[in-house]
Amino acid sequence: ESAVVLALKHTTPAPSPGVNINVTDGTVTETSGAATGAEDAGLIFAPSGFRFTDGTNPVTIGTQISAKESNLAPGAQSLYLQAIRTDTNTGACVGVFPSGTTVNVDMASQCNNPTACVAGKQVSITNNAITTPIASNPNAGVGSYTSVPLLFGANSQAAFSFTYPDAGSISLHARYNIPLQGGG
């Protein structure tokens, strides 16, 4: 008996029947011997991502005052990061993380105007009474992220506020690397 480890990167959605991977050494295949065709199911990739919401609808984050937490007046906003995916059976948008789950989400800010960030003036994200300063990136591109523990609640949403101790136009970014089932 032998084992092989394969790596796959597939960046576009692949609904049912999914992406089929065929493996052979020239004589033995993934359905040889005791294996059956039913055990050769396709890999299904569902579109997924994050969206910023007000708890109900997608939202544009409004103008904030330098060094003021985003959930305080004036200009207070209730903000959530919602993790969503397309249900492969219904096509509906559904939550990814169960309520009460803490997930480390990579977050970053990007300085748009001015195009360079000022050292020591980074955005901080607060969720579940934990404040985490996140990576600052220039307008040229986002390459640095910071892992932020976010507690997700109902509808796979994590309530958060942010503080930016400088002035200017910025963008917030979030990403999550979905771990493979079975420990990959």
Residue 183 has pLDDT above 60, yes or no: no
Q: What is the pLDDT of residues 101-129, one digit of tens each?
A: 999 999 999 999 999 999 999 999 999 99
- pLDDT-derived band at 78 (thresholds 50, 70, 90) equals very high
Does pLDDT of 152 surpass 70? yes
For residues 171 and 44, the model is more confident at: 171
> What is the predicted pLDDT for the residue at 146?
98
The per-residue pLDDT for 15 is: 66
* pLDDT of the residue at 184: 45
* Percent over 70 (pLDDT), the chain: 93
pLDDT in the model for residue 148 = 98
Residue 121 CA: distances (Å) to CA of 22, 49, 79, 158, 160: 51, 28, 21, 24, 19
Tell me: pLDDT of 181 over 70.
no
Name which residue leads in pLDDT, 122 or 7. Answer: 122
